[in-house]
Chains A and B, each alone.
Chain A
Amino acid sequence: MNPTNIRVVQPATATLATNKVIRNTYTLLAMTVLFSALTATLATVVQVGPGLSLVSTIVAIGLLWLVLPRTEDSAAGVGVVFAVTGLLGFGLGPMLTYYLSIPGGSQTVAMAFGGTAVIFGGLSLYALTTRRDFSFMGGFLFTGLLVLLAASIASLFFSVPALSLALSAGIIMLFSGFILFDTSRMIHGGETNYLRATVSLYINILNIFTSLLHLLGIGSDD
């Protein structure tokens, strides 16, 4: 085969593969968000306690770390993605129950959901249309994530409202950066597995939603 032909064919194949990853990711993401909304509703209806919520989240992260890497190239991986997102949605139960029980809470939850959709849609559209490579942010984002995790541990034991507010704001900014980073990885071939891409984007959405809900909950609580 003429090497020149290979050079012509490879980019077209790569573009097709990239488009397929993007299409599959957003289709599966839409389904998993819907599914986790259902499990979150179920958890709210049955009034799940914080203990079961924590167990649900730990099991989800366990599946994500231990089971998904072994199944991500098979059909079983789709089931694992639904299990992870369903359990993470279920884990939102106590938080949603709390916000829905306060005056104007349903409006706050709806506003957080709508706000998250606008943020995710806007950032995804920006990354997809500009086609910029945001892979340079990787080190910064993961270091930032470690800092926020450490601060979250501190905020559990030291009830400082300002720290809690700063954490929520920081999480929204950090995961906004992760949306740009993850979307750019799909576009530039850094992420070729749509199951991994779906879970990454889902976690970004989940973190932005919970932090926005926290900020709006504080904002509406005069």
Chain B
Amino acid sequence: MDFWLKLATALFLGLMVVLLLPVAKRMQQQSPEAKPGDWHAALVPVALVVLFVLLLVRCS
């Protein structure tokens, strides 16, 4: 990728960061507290995704 394309991509990604910053702040303030077992219920399927991806990488 040439320098100007990298620069344009970086500016675009930087703009995304600027646009998403207030959304992230609002989400942090408004998100409800996790109840016991909530993180476990979310992390188990994500861990299974990781194992599945590792399996795919090994098969490729």
Interface residues of A (CB under 8 A from B): 50-51, 54, 57-58, 61, 65, 107-108, 111, 115, 118-119, 122-123, 126, 130, 132-143, 145-146, 149-150, 152-153, 156-157, 169, 172-173, 176-177, 180, 212, 215-216, 219-220
Contacts and interface: CB of A to CB of B under 8 A. Distances in A.
Contacts of A176: 45-46, 49
Interface residues of B, number: 40
Nearest to A136: B34
B56 A212 contact: yes
Given A136-B38, A138-B27, A173-B46, A65 B19 contact: yes
A150 B45 contact: no
Contact of B60 (A118, A135, A141, A220): A220
B30 to A, nearest CB: 7
Interface string B21-49: 10110011111111100100110011011
Contact of B5 (A50, A130, A142): A50
A206 B60 CA distance: 20
A65 to B, nearest CB: 7
Given A138-B27, A142-B28, A150-B17, A215 B38 contact: no
23 contacts: A51-B5, A58-B12, A61-B12, A61-B16, A108-B60, A122-B45, A126-B45, A132-B41, A133-B38, A136-B38, A139-B27, A139-B30, A139-B31, A142-B27, A145-B24, A146-B21, A146-B24, A149-B13, A150-B17, A156-B6, A156-B9, A216-B57, A219-B58
A130 B38 CA distance: 12
